[in-house]
Structure 1
């Protein structure tokens, strides 16, 4: 693969990695809150919050890589 092809492939990995990392962090956060703070049930909210944070960070990193391709 050439340099620009690798950067273009990296854009997709940034998007997917941000989404997966956000989901995993959100799930772990909800699980931690439920176990440590008197059984506080926040299951969908922490996961959704970090899911959107992961999407934003993935797009931000992808945008940086796309600017580098040009």
Structure 2
């Protein structure tokens, strides 16, 4: 499994970009943000709950293996 989805790489979507009304890396509009902290965001876009991991590559890898 690749570290990032191709769309996320192309658009450079990051935790700081997560906010209501913005399109995520898949092009779905965010309609609710459940949690947003420095290195993680959990949000709903088009009836799907999504997780956006840290913008820092090493921290993102660590988060995905916990």
- TM-score after normalising by structure 2: 0.22
Structure with the greater relative contact order (CA < 8 A, sep ≥ 6): 1 or 2? 1
Larger fraction in helix? 1
- TM-score after normalising by structure 1: 0.22
